[in-house]
Amino acid sequence: MSAASPVLSVRDLSKTFGAIKAVDGVSFDVRPGEILGLIGPNGSGKSTLFNCILGQLKPDTGHVEVNGRDVSGRRACDLNKLGVGRTFQQLSVFPQMTVLDNIIVAGQEHRGTMLGRLFGAPDAGLAGEADRMIDFFRLTHLRDQMAGSLSYGQQKLVDAAMAFMAGPSLVLLDEPAGGVNLTMLAGLKERLSTYNREHGTTFVVIEHNMEFVMSLCSRIIVLAEGRVIAEGGPEEIRSNQTVIDAYLGG
């Protein structure tokens, strides 16, 4: 496989809920090391697209390849083992567990076998890696606090850190900055771009905050009513009349 082969390749993906075509024939590639933005109005199918790519939902049509391997129909946990991490639009931290334990559990999802979980070390040997992730996301002072006692923005950071415990080559982030204040938003953007630069990890990011998307992403895909209506660099997207009419103008 050549270095330029896509990390993620989506072909003709569709998903219908009753009469609603949530995702309608979507195709795109993501190149290694790229930070791709996925934007579009509420209800345009962004989260459904992620769920179809990641095996949370079964698409009606289409194929998904990760690093050249057909993963259509694979379960989310299988994708995790292939080095694909994700965050959900809704927070998925366990509020009654510490920050550290949340991040260790996320790593176990990736690595752990059932036997390992039953008979292995309680931290599955992941404490060191979890601590490095906590330090990277600047959560060190919150390490031993219950995740539920943190601010919403801090919990979003824990959620992001959890997605990186898959040792991922690809991370899909669904509105990582949704409801987060401006300072935390700038911090999150800086951490994601540093991670990308240092590890070459590829990201696909759904986000409504345009400043965040335009400054973080090298390329942007715009969805409306389940279809791709535009694709290009930040400046191209900002001045694209179809995008302004469907999304940015509002």
Ligand X SMILES: Nc1ncnc2c1ncn2[C@@H]1O[C@H](COP(=O)(O)OP(=O)(O)O)[C@@H](O)[C@H]1O
Please compute, for residue 158, the number of CA atoms within 13 A of its CA located in the half-sphere on the CB side.
32
Q: Which amino acid is at 125?
A: G
22 or 142: CB nearest ligand X: 22
**Contact partner at residue 59 from Mg ion, ligand X, none, CB < 5 to 8 Å by partner kind:** none
How many CB atoms neighbour CB 167 within 10 A? Answer: 14
Q: DSSP secondary-structure letter at 123?
A: T
In whole angstroms, the minimum distance from the beta carbon of 48 to ligand X comes to: 3
Name the minimum Å distance from CB 210 to Mg ion. 16
Stretch that binds ligand X, among 17-25, 146-154, 212-220, 239-247 (CB under 6 A): 17-25
Interface ranges with Mg ion (CB under 5 A): 46-47, 89
Task: Tell me: does residue 45 bind ligand X (CB under 6 A).
Answer: yes
Residue 58 interacting with ligand X (CB under 6 A): no
* CB of residue 162 to ligand X, shortest distance in Å: 20
Using the contact rule CB under 6 A, the part of the chain among 15-23, 123-131, 164-172, 237-245 near ligand X is 15-23
- Please give the order of strands across the beta sheet that includes 170-174: 84-87, 170-174, 202-206, 35-39, 219-224, 227-232
Residue 44 makes contact with ligand X by CB under 6 A: yes
Q: Does 62 bind ligand X (CB under 6 A)?
A: no
- 3-state SS track over 19-70: CEEEEEEEEEEECCCCEEEEECCCCCCHHHHHHHHCCCCCCCEEEEEECCEE
According to DSSP, residue 165 is labeled G
Candidates 36-44, 124-132, 160-168, 207-215: pick the segment binding ligand X (CB under 6 A): 36-44
Q: Does 55 bind ligand X (CB under 6 A)?
A: no
- Shortest CB 175 distance to Mg ion, Å: 6
**CA torsion angle 8 58 174 46 (round to 10):** 90
Q: In what order do the strands lie in the sheet with 61-66?
A: 20-30, 8-17, 61-66, 69-70
Q: Dihedral, CA atoms, 112, 117, 122, 126, nearest 10 degrees?
A: 0
Q: How far is the CB of 90 from Mg ion (least distance, A)?
A: 9
Could you say whether residue 86 binds ligand X (CB under 6 A)?
A: no
Residues that bind ligand X (CB under 6 A): 17, 20, 22, 40, 42-48
